[in-house]
Structure 1
């Protein structure tokens, strides 16, 4: 036991322990919120045990990944990218629907557990795209390289879109854009991209978005219109839930929580608003913002392009999910099925979230005191 305690203490002394502690704190809040939902009999106790187990497994995965040189992981893209893509493609044939509130079959049942492959594809994409960017950093703005980078980013975005999970597809797209421009892409391409996006808006609206997606978007602007009552039901009750919490909330032991569909998952922030109040919501936002800032701090202290790209990718993944999820809960953006990092229930989401932390910690550990700082070859 002494050896175990010594090993844990030694690890905390060498790693970015503040980042790890912030993540653990958010996960602890997640378990407390799920317990509150369980007390009100909206979920079974299995959700709590699954979340706790996923957090422990995620922490283990983060520690293991942090002890592996991120350069080695990046060079192994020929192994993890095909595997992640294979699992996602498999959902087109044997995918399952895990909830009545979602209409995409984005999960696989493996040994009795539900696995969402797109969550792990995020990590694989960040690593492979970071590696790709580091290889072409000297000639990033060459048209051929830009084209190949865009094709690299288009693969997961289109694959997840055709899978039916447009929320995750949007996250992939945002990760791609943030990583690409942070790597030094010319402003000329940015202007071109903005013009292209403006032209694409009507094409997407009339040619890509289905009726349900359009209604979700329009409901944001017409919350009181009876025509949108059904489609706005989830966000309507989420808003009431947050509002009834007041400044200090009803407390973690309240037995008067309002029911909100997917309150343990996409709408966990509304539960926080009701249980912990405005103060609790601000504290959660502060913790999540601190995690993102710590990742950016590690980005700034990293001497090589690959490590910087990895940190930016993980930051983009978290920041985009945080903004969109909280926006969903506040009825600022339509519901698109995006989880809140570290807090929403879901084994795959928790595991991939902690794997991202593991990559950032690897960048931290392998660039401390000048260790292993040779440029990637």
Structure 2
């Protein structure tokens, strides 16, 4: 039986690249012969992950040796999570798109329940209660909420279709979901995750066909709410002050960003060499977590940092390429959302480490230490790989 593409080729016409809004929603029972997942995306993910694990070893070595005498504590845990995460990624890549679609609503419900439980049973750190302790590790329910948001919004957009241009269907239900998620994040508080949730919603709605006027109106409201929120949240306002004038308080609120800038500056063009950084010797807090990119700059220099950012850029661009070539609209929207999520997190982390933006507590994907967060990130890459399996060949009925 001729495939869709071979049938079009036999007719002497090329297969057109269709806009997202023109992609049809294939039925779950439609005959589809799945190919292998996208190899370039898979290889890029593994390369970035491998570099990230090595940098966790270098960044955490000194602190681990000083605090507990085991310089490999964080590294040994991270490499276990990395290996098991890759297995999870490959397993998820075998799931059918119809199965992913069925997970959207249950995952959203679970994420909301977990977010609601954080203020009650969550563990507190640095004045915020964002983590749930699993015994062997901790995790942030906000990471699950981001994934659930992408899947749920993709389902909603495919359901409403042409109605997305109206306020009733293209704005109201999406805003309701965002308000609930952000409201629960406010209780932790977790301002950085709220920013990502809002930005992700805007991208998904824009891709789904929501009219531009609603974005302009929402932008004004968000700016006003953000101003009022920051002015009333002491920890947020102190971070703004430290960002604007770090030299005024080098020993307290601005200490971390100043140490980060020292690390970046001392790296120079080619860096001090892998493992030769100095700021990780108990000068820079969170050197193996949110501020690991500062250690990257110190040890690998400007050239090494740019090469790593280039790898991230290639991975993100490849993700958007897969979104443009996805078999159906749902798959295209999911890949767009997950690729955008990766791009947002990389940008925010690097911007914070370089003091382009105030400190937000955003980790660097595949680099920052954190087992369950790494699992979720690799699961998200597995979802993209799953959708990529349907790109090469689609059978005509």
- What is the TM-score normalised by the length of structure 1? 0.88
Conserved? CA contact 1:40–1:257, under 8 Å: no
Q: Among 112, 118, 133, which residue is 2:142 paired with?
A: 118
Residue 160 of structure 2 corresponds to 136
The whole-number CA distance in structure 2 between the counterparts of 1:340 and 1:357 is 15
Give the whole-Å Cα distance in 2 for the aligned partners of 1:203 and 1:253: 44
- Residue 274 of structure 1 aligns to a residue whose secondary structure is helix
Counterpart of 1:183 in structure 2 is: 208
Contact 1:328–1:335 (8 Å) recurs in 2: yes
Number of aligned residue pairs: 355
What is the CA–CA distance in structure 2 between the aligned matches of 1:369 and 1:260, rounded to whole Å? 51
SS of corresponding position for 2:241: helix
Out of 273, 277, 283, the residue aligned to residue 297 of structure 2 is 273
Tell me which residue corresponds to 1:243: 265
Gap runs ≥5 in structure 2: 1-34, 66-70
Question: For 1:88-121, what per-residue CA distance to the aligned partner results, in whole angstroms no more than 9, with x for missing partners?
Answer: 2222221113x5xx32222222243222222122
Q: Distance in 2 between matches of 1:192 and 1:121?
A: 25
Question: 1:298 is matched with which residue?
Answer: 322
Distance 1:201 1:166, change over 3 A: closer
Q: Counterpart in 2 of 1:10?
A: none
| Structure 2 SS opposite 1:264 | coil
SS where residue 266 of structure 1 aligns? Answer: coil
CA contact (8 A) 2:174 2:201 kept: no
Match of 1:349 among 368, 373, 377: 373
Please list the CA deviations of residues 50-97 of structure 1 after superposition, one character each: whole Å capped at 9, or x if unmatched: 211111222122111111112222223343222222222222221113
Of 172, 175, 178, the match for 1:147: 172
3-state SS in 1 of match to 2:165: coil
Tell me by how many angstroms 1:257 deviates. 4.0
Shift of 1:305: 1.6
**Larger Rg, first or second structure (1 or 2):** 2
Partner of 2:247: 224
**2:59 matches 1:37:** yes
Secondary structure at the residue paired with 1:105? Answer: strand
| 1:56 maps onto 2:83 in alignment | yes
CA distance in 1, matches of 2:292, 2:79: 16
CA distance in 1, matches of 2:45, 2:102: 27
The match for 2:100 is 73
Q: Paired residue for 1:286, among 282, 285, 310?
A: 310
- Cα distance change of structure 1 residues 16 and 337 upon mapping to structure 2, 3 Å threshold: same
Correspondence 1:157 to 2:179? no
Question: Structure 1 residue runs of 4+, over 6 Å off?
Answer: none
- The residue that corresponds to 1:253 in the other structure is 275
Q: Give 1:327's aligned residue.
A: 351
TM-score normalized by the length of structure 2 = 0.84
- Where structure 1 has 5 or more consecutive residues not aligned to the other structure, the ranges are 1-12
1:310 aligns with 2:302: no
